[in-house]
Structure 1
Amino acid sequence: MAAALEISQHKGSDVVFDVCCSICDDDGIQKEGRFNCQNCSKYFCNSCVLTHNKFLKDHLVTAQGGGDEWPVVKPVDGSLELCEEHTTEKLTMFCEDDEKLLCHVCHLRNHKQCSQIVLLTDKVKSTTQPLDVGQMKTRIES
C-alpha cells in the first residue's frame, strides 16, 4: 500500500501561476512567467528573459502589469476546481476507470480499488490539446 501512495505523489509544488515561463516549463520546471515577448509569443521568468533579450534585442518584451501588450489571462471560476461532494477540497485527480474528477477524499473513500487514478496535472499534460480543469469537467459531464 505504501508503494502505491509513493507512486501517486507528484513531483513539483502546489504553487499555481497565472502564466508559467515557457522555457522552464519545457524543462519541467515551474517558474512564474513575468515577461511576455510579442514576437515569440512566449513567457519568461526573471532569468530566462535576460538570455532572450541578449540574443533577440529587437523583440518587444513587456513585463507583467507593464502595459496593454500583456496578454489577459481569463480568470477561471474557482468553484470548478472544487469537489461537488467535498466542497472545500480541490479536484486533483481523475479516475479513468469511472471517468470522474476526484479530490483526495473521494480517492480515499470511493476509489481506492480503482486501477487508473491519474493526477490532473499529468492528465492535462498528456492530452494533445491543453485543457484546464473547467474544460475537462465540461467534457466529462457532457
Structure 2
Amino acid sequence: MATGDDFTKSIAEGPEQIFDTCSPCSESGSSKEADKFCVDCGSYFCAKCLLDHNKFPALRSHHISDKPEQNKRNETQTSLPTERCSIHHGKLVDMFCKDHDEVCCAACIAMKHRACVNVDYIPSISNGIRDSTEYKDTKHSLQDETKKRSKKQ
C-alpha cells in the first residue's frame, strides 16, 4: 500500500482547498504544488521536477497525466489504481483479498491467493465510497484534526 511519502497531500489555508504536493520537492523539505502525475512512478511533479524526471531515457516512456483539478475528480469519481506491486514490478495493485486482508496485484492473486474465495477488484468495490456516511465522517474528523494542529503551530 502507498505510504504518506508516496502520495503526499498538503492542505492550504481556506475551506477545503487541498492540493497535491510535488513528491521530489516534498522529500527535500519544500512544499510546492504539483502540476502533473507520473502513473508509473506513482509520484506528483512540479514543472521543474518533471523536466528532471524526463531527462532520463528510461523514464521518458512513463505515462504522465494532468493532475486532477483540485478536488473535483476526487469528489465526483473514483480514480483508477496507480500503485505498483513491490513484488511484481510494473503490475498495478488493484485487487483486495479479504481472506488475508491484503491488497495485491493480479499476479499475487494468481500465485499466492488462488485458493482464496473473497477476492475483489478494488475499483469495483470502491464505487460510491465517497457518498458513504463513514467516508464523510472520517473526512470531517481529519479536517477538524488538521485545523487543530495548524492552530497549535
Range of TM-score over shorter length: 0.3 to 0.5
Bigger share in strand: 2
TM-score normalised by length of structure 2: 0.38
Structure number with bigger Rg: 1
TM-score normalised by length of structure 1: 0.41
